């Protein structure tokens, strides 16, 4: 029995647990969208500064190649050189749990295997072995390229699994009813921004319009039946602000 006298596992308890789960998963998606938007803004600023007239990037004083404002190397090199991996040395405990512990379940096992060559529990163990809780923070005690790749990917990937699946809801009818019940629901985040959930006119998918840093971005939270994995990945991997084909549009 719980404190209210209701039996543990009763329908009202399960409904409350599922509501909390959905709320957490919406929040973790929003935090990642905000992070990606911040990183894009930094890249835009860096690219603009590099390309500005009279701004030298590299090279010699006599005007050897590198001082013309052209980005050296590939775009991937340009992006990688500006990744601040130091942010993973010490992470707020709440943020850590939201994005890297509980947030690991925001991705499918197939995606984790493809991204890291490891199963879900292997990824979880690698993170747990690298961090120790000190006060209100998780502090990295052992970093390596594999760990940094895991942390960076879990922090910025928008290739999400469905917001919830049938196994978390009691039966197909309840699953469809829950999707319908979320139509029009608005969730307010700590920074005052609001995410609105909606069911598109097809009626078989669940979408959400987020506002990371005040910029609207729509995600398909639960794909419609028959929406291919390839299409879902193309949609989920899109950066904020870029239009993609989606059942939510």
Domain final position from 125, 156, 187: 156
Residues 77 and 198 in one domain: no
Tell whether 173 is covered by a domain: yes
Domain final position from 138, 156, 174: 156
Residues 203 and 111 in one domain: no
Tell whether 245 is covered by a domain: no
Residues 151 and 176 in one domain: no
Tell whether 33 is covered by a domain: yes
Digit-by-digit pLDDT tens for the chain (249 residues) are 344 444 445 556 666 788 999 999 999 999 999 999 998 888 877 776 665 555 444 443 333 334 334 444 555 565 556 678 899 999 999 999 999 999 999 999 999 999 999 999 999 999 999 999 999 999 999 889 999 999 999 999 999 999 998 888 877 788 989 999 999 999 999 999 999 999 997 677 999 999 999 999 999 999 988 654 434 454 444 445 444 445 575
pTM score, two decimals? 0.77
Helices in 52-104 by DSSP H: which ranges? 75-81, 93-96
Q: Where in the sequence is the domain holding 116, given as residue range(s)? A: 15-45+73-156
Tell whether 202 is covered by a domain: yes
**Separation of CA 110 from chain center:** 16
Residues 140 and 98 in one domain: yes
Mapped onto helix, strand or coil, the DSSP state of residue 126 is helix
Residues 36 and 144 in one domain: yes
Cβ-Cβ contacts under 8 Å for 51 (sequence gap 6 or more): 69, 71
Total domains, the chain = 2
């Amino acid at each position: 029995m719980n404190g209210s006298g209701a039996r543990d596992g009763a329908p009202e308890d399960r409904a409350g647990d599922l509501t909390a789960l959905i709320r957490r998963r919406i929040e973790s998606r929003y935090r990642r969208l905000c992070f990606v938007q911040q990183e894009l803004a930094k890249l835009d600023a860096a690219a603009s500064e590099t390309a500005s007239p009279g701004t030298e990037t590299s090279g010699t004083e006599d005007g050897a190649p590198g001082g013309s404002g052209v980005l050296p190397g590939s775009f991937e090199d340009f992006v990688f050189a500006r990744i601040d991996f130091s942010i993973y040395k010490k992470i707020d405990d709440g943020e850590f749990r939201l994005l890297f512990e509980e947030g690991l379940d925001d991705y499918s096992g197939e995606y984790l295997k493809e991204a890291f060559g490891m199963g879900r529990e292997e990824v979880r163990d690698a993170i747990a072995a690298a961090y120790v809780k000190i006060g209100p923070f998780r502090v990295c005690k052992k970093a390596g390229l594999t760990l940094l790749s895991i942390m960076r990917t879990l922090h910025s990937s928008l290739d999400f699994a469905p917001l919830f699946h049938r196994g978390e809801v009691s039966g197909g009818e309840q699953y469809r009813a829950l999707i319908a019940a979320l139509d029009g629901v608005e969730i307010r985040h700590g920074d005052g921004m609001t995410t609105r959930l909606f069911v598109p006119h097809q009626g078989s998918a669940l979408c959400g319009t987020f506002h990371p840093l005040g910029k609207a971005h729509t995600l398909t939270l639960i794909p419609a039946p028959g929406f291919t994995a390839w299409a879902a990945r193309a949609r989920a991997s899109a950066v904020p602000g870029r239009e993609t084909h989606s059942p939510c549009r």
